[in-house]
Structure 1
Amino acid sequence: MKNNHELWATHFPQFIENKDKGVDFLMDASSLVKLPAGKQVFYPGSVCENYLLVLDGVVKVQLMAADTGREILLYHVRSGDSCVLTTSCLLSGDSYPAEGIAEIDVTAFAMSSQAFYRCIELSAFFREFVFKNFSSRLSNIISRMESVVFETIDQRICKALLASGDKVIAKTHQELAYESGTAREVVSRHLKNFENIGWVSLKRGTVDIINREALIKACNKSEET
């Protein structure tokens, strides 16, 4: 089992290499936490108490419509990442507007909100790290929202199918709907159309890509007006 210093060196080497005096405080103030798959990390209305840096695993951050129960994926937090909503809530003092769930087992460094504020004050390096990550993740969220608002359903489903680069997509229609920001019934209808024109082959729990070039072309096609 690696000690915390070795884990920092493996997953966040820039912290070990940096000579900023506040970085030592940051690492000493952090504790190692493990979250099992399915664990709710935060939920709408909850107060942000910790800043997390993910070492291993994936946290999915999603919105849920209160009236329909439909979930919309905002982003994933993976190894080497921090959560943009967590950063936003810590900086603003607001509660979480969305839900975070460990998609698979997660190992992370956690520091209290008090330690986070102190590190922001002490360390120019940490301030730059926090705001660069915040800016990058925020840009990704805006890009995803633009996709949901401005792209056609066909484009979003095609992108979801092509995202992994695999020929066989081991995902249910519900999972594809979640990633595409639409309803399962809509995805099923469009996938059936894709199958009818020879783009994919539908099987239980999987979608086999038959004509990747057609899917790529559909992704790049501008929405008709």
Structure 2
Amino acid sequence: MDFQNIFPVWNQLNTIQKNQILGSLNAQKVKKGTLLHNGNADCAGLFLIKSGQLRAYILSDEGREITIYRLFDMDICLLSASCIMRSIQFEVIIEAEKDTELWVIPAEVYKNIMEQSAPVANYTNELMASRFSDVMWLLEQILWKSLDKRVAAFLLEESSIEQASELKITHETIAKHLGSHREVITRMLRYFQNEGIVQLSRGTIVILDRKKLEQLQNP
């Protein structure tokens, strides 16, 4: 899989712009847990994921994390180049959730091309609007949905990502995704277990009754 086949507006670039990108492109392989971008002080560039999984999250003053979105094969991470957009002021941290292969377009290179190319500028605006929608959806979940519904939705999403009913995930990890405390998540999962929805063991959650989870998520 080549960069040219994944980058959405590649065919709308001129030869000079294509050469600028290819000449500065940096291919990377990173291990699970690698921190790729750490807030506004960091401007790594635009990430294009060849394979793997990234997580974008924010951190509270108390040190609590909450996931704002996740990125998968062929997704593009724009907030890792947030320095090219003056309106982006919040601190976003991006880490690898799985071993990941990606390409990095340096921020200045992308910014120059965006200023020259209407298709790239339009695509960038669409991408930013999509990420803003993700953040608004998250805000809606936090404000209007109870934690049991959010945990149910997360377990279903994780099962879909992994294509499995047995999830290798800790209560602490779920708490970080949902912006909660581990103890609160543990109590909720134990309630699910008492209801016959899941089975818990160390570092593993097995979904026993997907239908009940779906009903809980969408009553």
TM-score under structure 2 normalisation? 0.84
Residue 62 in 1 paired to residue 60 in 2?
no
Gaps of 5+ in 2: none
Instruction: Report deviation, 1:107.
Output: 2.8
Q: Distance in 2 between matches of 1:29 and 1:137?
A: 28
Residues 129-182 of structure 1: CA deviation (Å, up to 9, x unaligned): 211111112211211222122210100110111112432222111122222221
Instruction: Report deviation, 1:18.
Output: 3.1
Greater Cα radius of gyration, structure 1 or 2? 1
Residue 155 in 1 paired to residue 153 in 2?
no
For residue 105 of structure 2, the aligned residue among 104, 107, 111 is 111
Q: Where does residue 42 of structure 1 map in the other structure? A: 37
Moved more, 126-135 or 83-92: 83-92
Q: Distance in 1 between matches of 2:218 and 2:88?
A: 38
Contact 1:148 1:181 in 2 (8 A): no
Root mean square deviation of aligned Cα: 2.4
Which letter maps to 2:168? Answer: A
Q: Distance in 2 between matches of 1:58 and 1:9?
A: 20
Residues 186-221 of structure 1: CA deviation (Å, up to 9, x unaligned): 111011111112222212222222222211111113
Q: Where does residue 97 of structure 1 map in the other structure? A: 91
For residue 179 of structure 1, the aligned residue among 157, 163, 177 is 177
Aligned residues: 214
Contact 2:36 2:44 in 1 (8 A): no
Residue 122 in 1 paired to residue 116 in 2?
yes
Residue 52 in 1 paired to residue 35 in 2?
no
Contact 1:72 1:179 in 2 (8 A): yes
For residue 195 of structure 2, the aligned residue among 194, 197, 200 is 197
Q: Where does residue 3 of structure 1 map in the other structure? A: none
Which letter maps to 2:38? Answer: Y
Which letter maps to 1:204? Answer: R
Which letter maps to 1:40? Answer: L
Percent identical among aligned pairs is 25
Gaps of 5+ in 1: 1-5
Which letter maps to 1:63? Answer: I
